[in-house]
Structure 1
Amino acid sequence: MVTIIDGEGLVLGRLASTVSKRLLDGEEITIINAEKIIISGNKDFIYAKYKQRVDRASISNPRDLGPKYPRRPDDIFRRTVRGMIPYRKAHGRAAYKNLKVNVGIPKELEGQEVVEVEQAQPKNITKSMELGTVSKLLGAKF
């Protein structure tokens, strides 16, 4: 059975840690509305942090050297979860393959039951930015 989680209004790190634990327990998880996941903090700092990650490259050969960092909101979330699981080991790779992340709501998932994640709800967050906004500032088209 696939667990469907709506990412709208949930905090990125808290959601990613909850999802990574569930993935390691063997669940299949699908995230919808990845562009509406929020990142808490100052908008300028958030943008600068992600821009610095995307712009990392070598001076002599900027196209070949990495690490390559994603710009799309679904890929950014997948990368965040990947950092929380041992993806280089067999059980980590198997768990990572059970994660599906979608921008918006796909037609095949409309009307299905969505699981609430209480741990990822924002608490006392005054400054935040949506993942979709960060992606657009980084130049993503989705």
Structure 2
Amino acid sequence: MIYIDGDNHIYGRLSTYVAKQLLSGEEVVIVNASKIAITGSRKFILDKFNHRRNIGSVRKGPYYPRTPDQIMRRSVSEMLPIKKTKGLEALKRCKVYSGIPKSLTDVEFVKIDKAMNTNATGFITLGDISKILGENQ
């Protein structure tokens, strides 16, 4: 089982790493999903997420999540062959949390070097995006 601390990781790079680990049979737990960073222009990223939220209708969908943990989980699921059995089973092995749950406080977390955000400026966190999208807490 791999425990990943999502603090200061890049959204897409972390998603691809997790998807590959899930397909190889590992169980992955990601904590601090609200601190995962998306690099790029703040306005462009927010427009992109707002556009996704406004597609479709209430009755028909598609349904895009508002919470950081569900945004991250959806990103990982889009990188898996979800229409096949191996993709569904892989997604069941993925757990994502916005913070650190009490049951995982004494676990040692891994930082993925390839997915770390070394960019000092030009990013927005999933927590900020979810607040703007209207996360219900």
**Shorter-chain TM-score tier:** over 0.9
Answer yes or no: is the 8 Å Cα contact 1:34–1:104 preserved in 2.
Answer: yes
Residue number in structure 1 paired with 2:106? 111
Answer whether contact 1:41 1:128 (CA < 8 A) is retained: yes
Aligned to 1:14: 13
C-alpha separation between the residues in 1 aligned to 2:104 and 2:2? 11
Is 1:79 matched with 2:74?
A: yes
- Structure 2 SS opposite 1:19: helix
Residue 28 of structure 1 corresponds to which residue in structure 2?
27
Paired residue type of 2:86: H
Paired residue secondary structure (2:13): helix
TM-score (norm: length of structure 2)? 0.96
Aligned to 1:5: 4
**Larger radius of gyration, structure 1 or 2?**
1
Asked if structure 1 preserves the Cα contact closer than 8 Å seen for 2:35 and 2:126, the reply is yes
Instruction: List structure 1 segments (4+ residues) > 2 angstroms apart after TM superposition.
Output: 123-126
CA RMSD in angstroms comes to 1.0
- Pair 125,85 (structure 1): closer, same or farther in 2 beyond 3 Å: farther
CA–CA separation in structure 2 for the residues paired with 1:115 and 1:140: 28
Give the TM-score of the pair, scaled to structure 1: 0.93
The worse-fitting range, judged by mean Cα deviation, of 131-140 and 114-123 is: 114-123
Q: CA deviation at 1:125?
A: 5.5
- What fraction of aligned residue pairs are identical, expressed as a percent? 43
C-alpha contact (below 8 Å) 1:40/1:125 kept by paired residues:
no
Q: 1:64 aligns to what?
A: 59
- Deviation per CA, 1:83-103: give whole Å up to 9, x if none: 111011000000000000001
| 1:39-98 alpha-carbon deviations (Å, 9 max, x no partner) | 0011111110000000112xxxx3211111111100000110011110110000000000
Query: Number of matched residues?
Result: 137
Distance 1:133 1:124, change over 3 A: closer
Uncovered stretches (5+) of structure 1, i.e. residues with no partner: none
Equivalence for 1:49: 48
Partner Cα separation in structure 1 for residue 124 and residue 58 of structure 2: 29
